[in-house]
């Protein structure tokens, strides 16, 4: 069965992500009271920059695991540099390029689980498989490279994070099954499921 358009669309979630009355994703800077509209063409870049701390950590770990004889402090420095570069890109390049809403009033806030539940089930299960595979391979690589005890602990931590992310994806799948009519649409025209539900309530 073909997926409807809504199921194919990418979704965003996070502590500072809201939706406005036009059903657009908005990143809200509470200190400046500015909302930055994340359009469809910017979602991929936002998602990448949003993982800047995790990517910096992974970069440091991977550099240390390579047989290049790099000092651990140098690897940590590179990881921090990656984070700072991505933070600069996010704050000084990405956000200014977005449509800005001055004095934005956050209204439509959804949990991460609710946002993620808007993706297709197939896409969500694919993410679960990728996170689990990442967790397993990271630990196997640690043993294969004969890491020190400290790095083994770090590897376990990274793998645990991958399993947690897989668990969050499964939680969103369960939420979708328990609430098949839930929608995050906030624009003038609601999703087809919400419209059908509203019509059924009117008939009653």
Which of 82, 109, 136 is at the close of a domain? 109
Select from 88, 109, 130 the last residue of a domain.
Answer: 109
Domain with 70 in it: 16-109
Which residues have C-beta within 8 Å of that of residue 130, sequence separation ≥ 6?
none
d(CA 109, CA 191): 17
pLDDT category, 81, cuts 50, 70, 90? very high
For the chain, what is the domain count?
2
Task: Kindly state whether residue 103 falls inside one of the protein's structural domains.
Answer: yes
Res 197 pLDDT > 80: no
What pLDDT was estimated at residue 105?
85
- Distance between CA atoms of 22 and 188, rounded to whole angstroms? 7
Alpha-carbon distance 112 to 17, whole Å? 9
- pLDDT grade for 7, boundaries at 50, 70 and 90: very low
Position 176 in a domain: yes
Tokens of 56: 């910096």
In this structure, are 72 and 84 located in the same domain?
yes
DSSP states along 5-68? HHHHS----STTEEE-TTS-EEEEETTTTEEEEE-GGGHHHHHHHHTHHHHHHHHHHHHHHSTT
203 lies in some domain: no
Same domain, 105 and 115: no
Lowest-pLDDT range, 113-122, 156-165, 190-199? 190-199
What does the pLDDT average to over 69-96?
91
Q: How far apart are CA 51 and CA 83, in angstroms?
A: 9
Q: Answer yes or no: do 87 and 134 share one domain.
A: no
């Amino acid at each position: 069965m073909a997926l409807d358009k809504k199921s194919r669309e990418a979704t965003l979630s996070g502590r500072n992500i809201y939706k406005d009355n036009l059903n657009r994703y908005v990143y809200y800077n509470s200190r400046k009271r500015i909302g930055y509209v994340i359009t469809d063409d910017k979602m991929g870049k936002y998602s990448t920059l949003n993982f800047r701390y995790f990517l910096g950590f992974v970069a440091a770990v991977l550099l240390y695991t390579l047989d290049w004889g790099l000092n651990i402090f140098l690897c940590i420095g590179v990881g921090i540099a990656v984070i700072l570069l991505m933070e600069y890109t996010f704050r000084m390049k990405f956000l200014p390029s977005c449509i800005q809403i001055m004095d934005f009033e956050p209204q439509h806030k959804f949990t991460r689980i609710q946002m993620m539940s808007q993706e297709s089930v197939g896409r969500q299960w694919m993410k679960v498989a990728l996170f689990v595979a990442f967790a397993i391979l990271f630990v196997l690589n640690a043993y294969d490279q004969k890491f020190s005890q400290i790095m083994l602990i770090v590897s376990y931590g990274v793998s645990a994070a991958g399993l947690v992310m897989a668990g969050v994806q499964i939680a969103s799948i369960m939420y979708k099954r328990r609430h098949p009519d839930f929608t995050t649409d906030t624009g003038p025209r609601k999703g087809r499921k919400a419209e059908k539900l509203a019509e059924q309530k009117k008939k009653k």
